[in-house]
Chains A and B, each alone.
Chain A
Amino acid sequence: MSHVPHPRPCGDFRTTYSDDTSLFRTKVEGRIVYLGIAALLISPFFLNDYYLSQMITIGIYGIAALGLNVLVGFTGQISLGHSAFFGFGAFASAWLNNTTGIPVFLCIPLAGLMTTAVGMIFGIPAARLKGLYLAIATLASQFILQDFFSRADWFSGGAYGSAAEVVNFLGIDLDTDQKYFYLVLFWVVVSFLAVSNLRRSRDGRALVAVRDHYLSAEIMGINLTHYRIMSFGVSSFFAGVGGALYAHYLQYVSVEGFTILLSIQFLAMIIIGGMGSIAGTLLGTAFILLLPQFMEDAASGVAVIFPGIEQSKAYIKEMSVGAVIILFLIFEPEGLIHRWRLIRASWKLYPFSH
């Protein structure tokens, strides 16, 4: 897809197949990731609640966006209904815990599995559709699920929403941002590792083959229906887990949060981060979630000169999301990760970067 120079470090010759599918391209890359995780592990002791809550939100949405990236970036399917699955996970986890009393800690993956089942049901029409028709079919699933949430009082509490319990792990209530941060970090690491592993497995290669040319893939013996539905399932699983984490973080779920606008934001996250890129997903999520904050600050700054701006902040924030999507698609369709790769390449190839 991209034409970025992808310089290998000296001496990295990849003489075996297992070298070719290693988790990290180089040892340095691996060390940076481990160091990053270690830094995150100790960060709750140094950061204040504002930064922590931002990081938790980025982590939660990042997991869901990662699921969408499996569907859109790997398999090349389109989904305009991701926030409905995110919402389903949130309600499912709260419902499981409230009705059966299964510990919340276990409810989170179980909610993910329930969402997988729902996602696969809505994925069935997708097995026959592609492109635009698929986009519209998933749009329909968004509205159908949203309608279900507001109607099914037994499941979602209807218009009142439902309460989600605090997560309790081995007798410790994860009720502060500091403690919850570790739970989210655990799930972020697990999901990103799982998707990285999926990417270099047989199934992951099959998904990419379906994306690149589905007819050739089918001729090579890849079962299109199977893999399309599977990618819907995988994507819904992460959406469900993200949703469950979201529910227990806020300790309350209501219908209003899971609209088509959120689905669009999920798509914006992966487009801005870079479609099909695992690291890009986090970049894009952080970008989309921090953008409104940034616009708020920028608007306050401008308001010193033009006081009229102050009342229209909300509109400016909304507009900035739309504008960012358009600008990225026109000027940087391959996302932030592509920009990063260009920077890295020009640095590595200096002074012959062109």
Chain B
Amino acid sequence: MNWDLLFQLLINGIIVGMLYGVVAMCFVLIYKSTQVVNFAQGEFLVLGAWVCWFFVLKWQLPFVLAFLFAMAFMTIFGILVQMVILRPLIGEPIISVIMVTIGLSIFMQALMNWVFGNSAESFPSVFGEETVMIGGLQVEMAYLMSLVLSLLVMGLFYYFFKYSRYGLAMRATAFNQQVAQSLGISVKQVFAMAWAISALVSCIAGVVLGLVNAVSNSLAIIGIKVFPAVIVGGLDSIIGAVIGGVIIGVLENMAEFFDGQFLHIGNLYTVAPFYVLIIILMIRPYGLFGTKDIERI
């Protein structure tokens, strides 16, 4: 038993899991307030990363400014997607809504391949190459910063929903659209806001991932990987999304560890989350923290 490696992978799992948690949060945010599942979440993330990369490398902007521009761009993009593509589909069956976001993801994937090319491009180093020692283990600065950013985003989410006026409006809409509307909340605005926030946060996650690895279109796979996380946590629980993300991140790394040490099947970490997903759906179809649907006949 290689304890050092196990511990290292555990730390990796938590850090990666936090990022999954952030993406899963975006996902849950959209689902909770607009009842739409965004299959294009991964593409949102990659687009954010590419736009930031473009500003840094092609326009030679300082990183912070480029990051802000990219966030602004993605916010507008999110609102546009909601207005142009999803608004006409309000009230349509769930399969149409799922398919339209899948269509969007295919479209965006191809477009990004076309515009930005299909090779991986790295950011100029922002956090530096140095590493930090935590409990006798080396952790790269970039990883640590991504952890800090994830925690910051989660804190902001918490504050926004708990104390701000708009956050309250969104919670009210998620609870009951008709009642919210009768209290003077513009449901249309709330929907647009949910997409804007989700796109914005995806952009942050994308840029962080881009800094840690490199920007490439294959990062979009994270949009698929968050599904197990979201389901484990429950589709309509934001805290559940974060916990689910960490669980899946740790699980992936543990699967890799046991695979590498004992089982030697190879590639176990990519499918392990999906087996867990099926098992959880069999036992608790609404996830660990999701609300159980009770239907009135």
List the interface of chain A (C-beta within 8 A of B): 72, 76, 78, 124-125, 128-129, 131-133, 135-137, 139-141, 143-144, 147, 150-151, 215, 219, 260-261, 264, 267-268, 271, 275, 312, 315-316, 318-319, 321-326, 329-330, 333
Q: Are B271 and A143 in contact (CB under 8 A)?
A: yes
Q: Are B109 and A125 in contact (CB under 8 A)?
A: no
**Residues of chain A within 8 A of B267, CB atoms compared:** 147, 150-151
Q: Are B89 and A330 in contact (CB under 8 A)?
A: yes
A321-B281 CB under 8 A given contacts A139-B224, A329-B99, A329-B100: no
Q: Are B103 and A319 in contact (CB under 8 A)?
A: no
A215 to B96 CA separation, bound complex (whole angstroms): 22
Q: Are B271 and A325 in contact (CB under 8 A)?
A: no
The A-B contact count (CB < 8 A) is: 127
Q: Which of B93, B105, B230, B277 is within 8 Å of A137, CB to CB?
A: B277
Q: Are A147 and B270 in contact (CB under 8 A)?
A: yes
Q: Are B278 and A325 in contact (CB under 8 A)?
A: no
A319-B271 CB under 8 A given contacts A135-B37, A326-B100, A330-B100: no
CB distance from A136 to the nearest CB of B (A): 5
**Residues of chain B within 8 A of A151, CB atoms compared:** 265, 267
CB distance from A65 to the nearest CB of B (A): 14
Q: Are B281 and A125 in contact (CB under 8 A)?
A: yes
Q: Which one of A72, A76, A124, A315 has the greatest number of beta carbons of chain B within 10 Å?
A: A315
Is B285 part of the binding interface, using a Cβ–Cβ cutoff of 8 Å?
Answer: yes
A141 to B271 CA separation, bound complex (whole angstroms): 10
Q: Which of B95, B100, B108, B271 is within 8 Å of A144, CB to CB?
A: B271
Interface residues of B: mostly helix, strand, loop or mixed?
Answer: helix
Write 16 A-B pairs (CB below 8 A) sorted by A numbering: A76-B93, A78-B98, A133-B235, A133-B281, A140-B275, A147-B267, A147-B270, A151-B265, A215-B297, A275-B95, A316-B110, A319-B111, A322-B107, A325-B99, A329-B96, A330-B100
**Residues of chain B within 8 A of A215, CB atoms compared:** 295, 297
| Given A261-B106, A267-B99, A322-B106, 9 other A-B residues pairs in contact with their CB atoms under 8 A | A128-B285, A137-B278, A139-B224, A143-B270, A151-B265, A315-B113, A324-B103, A325-B106, A329-B89
A315-B275 CB under 8 A given contacts A139-B224, A322-B104: no
**Interface set, chain B 45-102, CB cutoff 8 A to A:** 85, 88-89, 92-96, 98-100, 102
CB distance from A246 to the nearest CB of B (A): 22
**Residues of chain B within 8 A of A140, CB atoms compared:** 227-228, 274-275, 277-278
Q: Are B94 and A133 in contact (CB under 8 A)?
A: no
Is B1 part of the binding interface, using a Cβ–Cβ cutoff of 8 Å?
Answer: no
A144-B278 CB under 8 A given contacts A312-B114, A318-B109: yes
A271 to B277 CA separation, bound complex (whole angstroms): 27
Q: Which one of B99, B105, B107, B282 has the greatest number of beta carbons of chain A within 10 Å?
A: B99
A141 to B278 CA separation, bound complex (whole angstroms): 8
A268-B99 CB under 8 A given contacts A139-B224, A312-B114, A315-B114: yes
Q: Are B110 and A330 in contact (CB under 8 A)?
A: no
Q: Are B105 and A136 in contact (CB under 8 A)?
A: no
CB distance from B50 to the nearest CB of A (A): 15
A140 to B111 CA separation, bound complex (whole angstroms): 26
Q: Are B275 and A144 in contact (CB under 8 A)?
A: yes
CB distance from A156 to the nearest CB of B (A): 15
CB distance from A312 to the nearest CB of B (A): 5
A264-B102 CB under 8 A given contacts A131-B94, A330-B85: yes
Q: Which one of B106, B109, B111, B267 has the greatest number of beta carbons of chain A within 10 Å?
A: B106
**Residues of chain A within 8 A of B205, CB atoms compared:** none
CB distance from B90 to the nearest CB of A (A): 12
A264 to B88 CA separation, bound complex (whole angstroms): 21
Q: Are B107 and A326 in contact (CB under 8 A)?
A: yes
Q: With CB as the reference atom, state the residue of chain B lying closest to A128.
A: B285
Q: Are B110 and A135 in contact (CB under 8 A)?
A: no
